[in-house]
Structure 1
Amino acid sequence: MFGLCVLAGVLVAALLLPAATGTGAVVNQSSDAIDRMSSSLAKREMPLVSTVTDRNGKPIAYFFNQYRVETKPGQISDSMKAAITAVEDKRFWHHEGVDWHGTMRALAKNAASGQTAQGASTITQQYVKNYLVHVTARNAMEAEKAKETTVARKLREAKLAVELERTMSKEEILTGYLNVVPFGNQTFGVGAAAQTYFGTTPDNLSISQSALLAAIVNQPGALNPETNPADALARRNLVIDLMADPRNDIRITKEDAERAKKEPLGVLSPLGRPPNGCVGTGDSETDGFFCTYVENYLDRHGVSSDQLENGGYTIRTSLDRTASDAAKQAAERYVPTQTDGIANAMAVVEPGKDKHKVRALAANRDFGNDASKGQTAYDIVSRTVPFGAGSIYKIFTSAVALEQGMSIYDTVDVPASYTSRVYKNGCCSPYTVQNAEGVDSGPRTLQMALATSPNTAFVKLQEQVGLNNVVDMASRLGLRHAMGQVNMLGRQLDSDGSNGPSVADTVKQRNLGGFTLGFTPTNVLELSNVAATIMSDGVYCPPSPIEEITDRDGNPIPLQEAGCEQALRPDVAHQLAQGLAKDDTEGTSRVAAKAAHWNRPMIGKTGTTSAHQSAALLGATPQMAGAVLTYADGRKPEGICDAGGDNPPYLCGDEGNIYGGKVPARTWFDAMMKIHEGLPVAPLPGSPPPPGR
């Protein structure tokens, strides 16, 4: 402390500052800084990269505020230690945190030139400054204060440096410094720098590589080897020469130095720093849709974006690479990526009574920011879009009817046209509905009505069971966001409700009988989860993309996920599954199923909106559930024309002819055939139909 007092006096005298600016305030600031830095070191709060992986632990994305890979003392090469001490603090192994002789020389030079207190900082002092700037600073103002060139800052650094030398070993201080210091290109710490510039680890850094990294530390911007290789090379060679100085505690031979100086910079091009966030993630552009859902899901369930970018978490997701690749390939096969104005999105969810795991979120669109290449950075698979799923919503009407005591073998009336006495078309005129082309009139069982999808039968049935009950059933089975959190335009409701009401409230308030025909905004992921709920004996679980989260030390992090609930009685869910069991054999998806050689029991329901701007298929086996939505995603949506077979669809104004049994069904069966490879053929839940049915 005597040395500190002497230093304070010299600083004050040299810079002609009033004595009042000296020790009192500085000591208080130093004590506070020591407490915060000590607390931060004890808690290991240094910002680290969070890694998102697939279900098998393969990384698909990284999140960071500072790209940093924490490194232990034994994981840093001797050449790196030699390089950084040679150029930044050759007396590092001997001083006690502050190099008094060097400081006095610097002070004399500064005083003579009229500058403020600069220079002569030891590695320990630099560690303090960088830690205060990049770790403990709570805002930009605090970060700037930690960098200001003042007497107060110098005194604080000196005091903190002495304290650190008392509590940490030299190896710990050097490692701490090398973990915190910036190396340019958004890279912090030697572990990340080794990867960014050379694609290696710090224990494998060569002499020339170590020297370059030590050179960059001096001026990360000006000595960027990508943009200023000549100056970076000159500074690197200077560091190599310093490393060979015989006065160093860790040094290299002159022969090694000469060989190292002849080596090229050897910097990776492009640099090896991973992309930050969801754009450019994983092995394919599909991972971005899943990554975005994970990011949003974590934020809603207890892990904020700030925690994600700084916490060093490992998030193992439920992403199944086989399912994801199959869904992506099928979506692109039937609607190529750059198809103008048409999106083809698919979600896959695994049923279960304790969790519904999201296995794939894929689309024909690649995930990215270049629209000219058919890319989009919107989460088009997991968010609600302003296009309907058509007759798939007849499932909800059927579920209410079954819950109220109807059987799938009961007969429903199917007139060619039906004018409702309950619903209105807008304010005044009667609501009249007709069947789609090719759907015959005449009575049939509820099971066959689900397979053949007559509009008139389900509008009549909705009248009988109650519109409000049907809307509530849609939410119960899985359309939680699409019903309750967006308006009729598919836009997220504001917190003050100013852009409401919700879809559910609007349908109820306006008595919109067309709800069972699926004209309201929908959500591909939630449609998949509806199928998963039916196949899980009526148990609804939120679609979860998370298997487990661990912190930087490998300890599990609990997530505040909602639990599962019995949305539908098991017996009703079983009846509903049996009611949906004919779509692939006698219903609207039979042509696509036959072409794909599908031979497993499944539930299925197709849907198409009246303007042919969207069409969908919801389907599931006991092992996997999924939905496909093909819709017009351009700025001016048009009808979609299906050209048949492998020919891509196209926009065709008001003359669309797409149906759920076409592109959506082909996509679904193509993907699910691959996803089910190796899985046993499993029966649907519930009793099999009576003989002859």
Structure 2
Amino acid sequence: MRLPRGVPRFLGCCVVAGVLAAGVAAPAALGAGVLSNQVADAVDGISATLASSEQPLVTTVTDREGTPIATLFDQYRLPVTADEISPAMKAAIVSIEDRRFYDEGGVDVKGMVRAALHDSSGGSTQGGSTITQQYVKNYLINVVDRNNRAAQLSDQADTIARKLREAKIAVQLGQTKSKEDILTGYLDVVEFTGNIYGVGAAAHAYFGTTPDELTVPQAALLAGMVNNPAVYNPYKYPDRALQRRNLVIDAMVSTGTLAAADAATAKAAPLEVLPGGPDVPSSTCLGAAPDAGFFCQYAESYLIRAGFTADQLETGGYTVRTTLDPRVSSIAKQAVDANVPTAQNGVANTFAVIRPGQDTHEVLAMVANRNYGTDPAAGETSTNLLSSASNVFGAGSSFKIFTSAAALESGKAGLDTPLPNRAGQCFTQPGANEYTQPYCVQNDGVNYPDPISLRNGLATSPNVAFVNLEQQVGMPAVLDMARRLGLRTTLTTNDAGAKPDPSSDNTQYSQPQSQYFQDKLSFTLGNSPVSPLEMANVSATLMSGGTWCPPNPVLSVTDRYGQDVPVRQQACEQAVPAGLANSLLAGLSQDTVSGTSASAAAAAGWHHADFGKTGTTQQSESVAFVGGVDDYAVSSMVFADGPHPKEICPGNPVHLGDCGHGAFGGTVAAPPYFEAMNQILGNRPDVPIPAADPAYLRARS
């Protein structure tokens, strides 16, 4: 015989009520084998999971001074303690959700029976769940099973097994936790639409306040929302939300927590939510300030490489104190924006600053005229222009640093060694056969001496002398030197700046640069993709006595309890002897004095002791200045970054064009360096460039 509609639900709830009223008797007392097993197998495990599962919290990323620069989160939640919640908020939620909360156990048997009777008679379903039960349900959905959609559906299933399981866990919580802790826990875990979880985040997002300052109308609005956040969203459905808020206020009167006169005043108040809200911060580094976006993204990826998962960073409630220097970063950003406007068509200007050291290379700034974002029309990009091999045209003659270092190490040349330097010359490529075309290069200009010393060559940058030297040293040694000094990631990319594609028949795409350039003498002229950050780190390696360390963006990580969390870092390495590094710095110290950037230095009033090397690609699609001063290692690069790259032309502003004689590293990439570093250094006394080691002045082989 078919039972009347509602009777099965009524009987089931009576069973639940009977079990719970009997002192939370064992599920087997129901005499329902399958149900008993379901509940018995689940409750203890879930109770333990509830006790051990931490709520997702916001991770805060700060600069080195502790000022927040970004937040990372999956659920926007600002946890609070019981005394940080206003009495009005507590009264509102209890009045509308569970007015017997302070008198009942974890479940309200009377309420469950009443709800079952009402439902079985054909009326609308009345909720029989206590705040404790809702706490259990929301904790399962929003915390324990937040990444498991099937489990979340099970947590909400309209079944007797689910209700009994939830009720028994609620009774256990009621026996082990105080009412204040349960109420606070519930208000911390419940959703208020979208990514807003908990009363702390809701108070901020909807009213721009803290939960301890919530007024009666504000508290009533939030308390009314938890029943159905989407339906009572005050921005989408203000009339509905207002009616619900006033219903909560009436409930507060009926429970005796609000006087009728005060209720009338509260009901007359407008919704008072923040205009244009809710005010929720960005959950990614896309919300960082223009001078911090690329840095933030790099710090996040650095931590993931160090062993953190993306989910940990989005839910762990960490405080990540980075190495970002707000003053250095702000000044550098202003310098690149003045050189190339943010939305300038097809031209990017990157600027990276690293502090050298024997134990760590702290990244102080990673900026570009572009901003980290998703709107290309506004000059934004979601590609990290600093850390990736984004400059696909290369850093030009600044790569002569690697050939010089390899020559000094091998003894093929010293700083005073005369290098053959004809106006033009053709070279046989490594591993060439009779069908291989020779590699022919010319010097850019006719005033170079022949021969020219390596020291003078570093300042004036003749192409022929360095290709000749590269051929003598050998490509394996030059490429290995580039890796050791800093191009660790760059050389793992292909000649398009991307991950090598083994399926491609074209070695330009299938091979990493470390392999692709083994037979190509063009490497020393810097025509290959490169990371601007790694080029700054090359300078840092030389300034650290030849010690390479990974570019480090993180000073410390603390967890939600304030405890230090260790961050695994790749060990520093002695890439080259200190004497070699110092000698190379000495050899590079004339670029801003008498070399390729001297005119720009004079125009900027530059007078500091520094070192540098400019670079310009053959068609001027990219220009670079790589160098350092005091304890700042720097790279400044200007390169074509649009879908239709062309020659970069100097001017105000720098732009793409057909200017015949395009930009140079000394005329376009060096000026932002002088502009920024003049401000950063101020009147600080100069730090002299180390003297060359006599062992590296002359050839030894």
Distance 1:370-1:432 versus aligned 2 partners, 3 A rule: same
Other-structure match for 2:681: 676
Question: Greater CA deviation, 429-438 or 306-315?
Answer: 429-438
State the alpha-carbon separation in 2 of the partners of residues 674 and 689 from structure 1.
35
State the alpha-carbon separation in 2 of the partners of residues 656 and 337 from structure 1.
24
Task: State the Cα deviation string for residues 439-490 of structure 1 (Å, max 9, x = none).
Answer: 5242232111100000000011111211110011001000011112x11111
State the alpha-carbon separation in 2 of the partners of residues 268 and 5 from structure 1.
44
State the alpha-carbon separation in 2 of the partners of residues 327 and 456 from structure 1.
34
Among the aligned pairs, what percent are the same residue? 44
Kept in 1: contact 2:584–2:692 (CA 8 A) = no
| Map 1:273-292 → 2, pairs under 5 A | 273-281=280-288, 284-292=289-297
Matched, 1:686 2:699: no
| Map 1:552-571 → 2, pairs under 5 A | 552-571=560-579
Q: 1:605 aligns with which of 610, 613, 619?
A: 613
1:536 offset after TM fit, Å? 0.6
SS at structure 2 position matched to 1:354: coil
Kept in 1: contact 2:622–2:648 (CA 8 A) = yes
Matched, 1:87 2:99: no
Kept in 1: contact 2:118–2:126 (CA 8 A) = no
| Map 1:286-685 → 2, pairs under 5 A | 286-385=291-390, 386-405=392-411, 406-423=413-430, 428-437=436-445, 440-484=448-492, 486-493=493-500, 500-508=510-518, 511-643=519-651, 647-653=652-658, 655=660, 657-677=662-682, 679-685=684-690
Q: 2:188 aligns with which of 176, 179, 188?
A: 179
Q: 1:22 aligns with which of 35, 38, 51?
A: 35
State the alpha-carbon separation in 1 of the partners of residues 258 and 21 from structure 2.
40
Matched, 1:195 2:187: no
Other-structure match for 1:14: none
Distance 1:280-1:438 versus aligned 2 partners, 3 A rule: farther
Q: What 5-or-longer segments of structure 2 have no aligned partner?
A: 1-13, 23-29, 696-701
1:600 offset after TM fit, Å? 1.0
1:57 offset after TM fit, Å? 0.8
State the alpha-carbon separation in 2 of the partners of residues 369 and 482 from structure 1.
24
State the alpha-carbon separation in 2 of the partners of residues 425 and 325 from structure 1.
53
Other-structure match for 1:256: 262
Task: State the Cα deviation string for residues 509-564 of structure 1 (Å, max 9, x = none).
Answer: xx101111111111100000000110010000000110100000001111111011
Kept in 2: contact 1:537–1:685 (CA 8 A) = no
1:139 offset after TM fit, Å? 0.9
Kept in 2: contact 1:407–1:575 (CA 8 A) = no
1:111 offset after TM fit, Å? 2.5
AA partner of residue 596 (structure 1): A
Task: State the Cα deviation string for residues 183-215 of structure 1 (Å, max 9, x = none).
Answer: 113100011111111111111111111111111
Matched, 1:69 2:75: no
State the alpha-carbon separation in 1 of the partners of residues 31 and 123 from structure 2.
16
Kept in 1: contact 2:59–2:316 (CA 8 A) = yes
TM-score, normalised with respect to structure 2:
0.91
State the alpha-carbon separation in 2 of the partners of residues 472 and 665 from structure 1.
27
Matched, 1:34 2:47: yes
Task: State the Cα deviation string for residues 394-428 of structure 1 (Å, max 9, x = none).
Answer: 00011111112332122222211122145469952
State the alpha-carbon separation in 2 of the partners of residues 495 and 345 from structure 1.
30
1:680 offset after TM fit, Å? 3.2
SS at structure 1 position matched to 2:194: coil
Distance 1:408-1:179 versus aligned 2 partners, 3 A rule: same
Q: CA RMSD in A?
A: 2.4
State the alpha-carbon separation in 1 of the partners of residues 502 and 169 from structure 2.
46
AA partner of residue 48 (structure 2): D
Q: 1:231 aligns with which of 219, 240, 244?
A: 240
Kept in 2: contact 1:368–1:377 (CA 8 A) = yes
1:299 offset after TM fit, Å? 1.1
Other-structure match for 1:13: none
State the alpha-carbon separation in 2 of the partners of residues 7 and 528 from structure 1.
70
Kept in 2: contact 1:79–1:206 (CA 8 A) = yes
1:494 offset after TM fit, Å? 5.8
AA partner of residue 108 (structure 1): L
State the alpha-carbon separation in 2 of the partners of residues 536 and 660 from structure 1.
25
1:252 offset after TM fit, Å? 2.4
Kept in 2: contact 1:613–1:656 (CA 8 A) = no
AA partner of residue 260 (structure 2): K
State the alpha-carbon separation in 2 of the partners of residues 352 and 315 from structure 1.
21
State the alpha-carbon separation in 1 of the partners of residues 217 and 523 from structure 2.
69
Distance 1:514-1:96 versus aligned 2 partners, 3 A rule: same
1:26 offset after TM fit, Å? 2.0
State the alpha-carbon separation in 2 of the partners of residues 307 and 410 from structure 1.
55
Task: State the Cα deviation string for residues 368-412 of structure 1 (Å, max 9, x = none).
Answer: 211111111211111112221000000001111111233212222
1:280 offset after TM fit, Å? 2.6
Question: Greater CA deviation, 264-273 or 496-505?
Answer: 496-505
Count residues in correspondence: 668
Kept in 1: contact 2:57–2:76 (CA 8 A) = yes
Question: Greater CA deviation, 557-566 or 497-506?
Answer: 497-506
Distance 1:264-1:494 versus aligned 2 partners, 3 A rule: farther
1:437 offset after TM fit, Å? 3.3
State the alpha-carbon separation in 2 of the partners of residues 37 and 496 from structure 1.
48
Other-structure match for 2:26: none
SS at structure 2 position matched to 1:684: coil
SS at structure 2 position matched to 1:629: strand
Other-structure match for 2:215: 206
Distance 1:96-1:392 versus aligned 2 partners, 3 A rule: same
